[in-house]
């Protein structure tokens, strides 16, 4: 494996990982993990371990299921719901993953940005109101 590709992590994720998922419907476990590192290095193992638990102990299996579900999703709202509802990710991490995989449709949700924009920030579980809040956030940006 060529680890130098991680040197410019954001470029690698946006130029290689996202397009690969969109064309093949697949993502490597290391690439999903690197999205966790890019978004929140301090939380990377906690997020990975949560996904492993939900996939009966296999991060690789979790990654495959997530990639498949995201590829078959009908729309953006369904994609966010898959990550939050089905996989237990919080809105900031779910939006980061989707920003890398679908950069034309998503942006990273961040509580500090909410504060700067004076938007009421609620990192709640997935629901219609959560989706509406995320849409308002994107509009404000």
Q: Flag whether pLDDT at 31 surpasses 70.
A: yes
Q: What is the pLDDT of residues 68-99, one digit of tens each?
A: 999 999 999 999 999 999 999 999 999 999 99
Determine how many CB atoms are found less than 10 A away from the CB of residue 73: 16
Any alpha helices (H) in 73-127, and if so which ranges?
Answer: 76-81, 91-101, 111-117
Output 40-48 pairs: Cβ under 8 A, ≥24 positions apart: 40/92, 40/93, 40/96, 43/93, 47/89, 47/93
In this predicted structure, what is the pLDDT of residue 6?
Answer: 85
- b/e string for 118-134 if b means 16 or more Cβ within 10 A? ebebeeeebeeebbebb
Q: What is the torsional sign of CA 124, 125, 129, 135?
A: positive
């Amino acid at each position: 494996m060529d680890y130098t590709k991680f040197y410019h992590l954001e470029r690698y994720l946006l130029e290689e990982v996202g397009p690969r998922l969109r064309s093949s419907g697949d993502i490597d476990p290391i690439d999903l993990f690197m999205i966790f590192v890019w978004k929140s290095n301090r939380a990377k193992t906690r997020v990975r371990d949560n996904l492993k638990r939900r996939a009966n102990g296999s991060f690789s299996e979790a990654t495959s299921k997530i990639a498949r579900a995201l590829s078959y999703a009908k729309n953006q709202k369904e994609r966010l719901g898959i990550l939050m509802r089905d996989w237990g990710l919080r809105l900031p991490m779910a939006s980061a993953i989707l920003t890398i995989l679908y950069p034309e449709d998503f942006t990273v949700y961040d509580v500090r940005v909410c504060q700067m924009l004076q938007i009421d920030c609620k990192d709640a579980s997935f629901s219609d109101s959560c989706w509406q809040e995320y849409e308002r956030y994107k509009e404000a940006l």
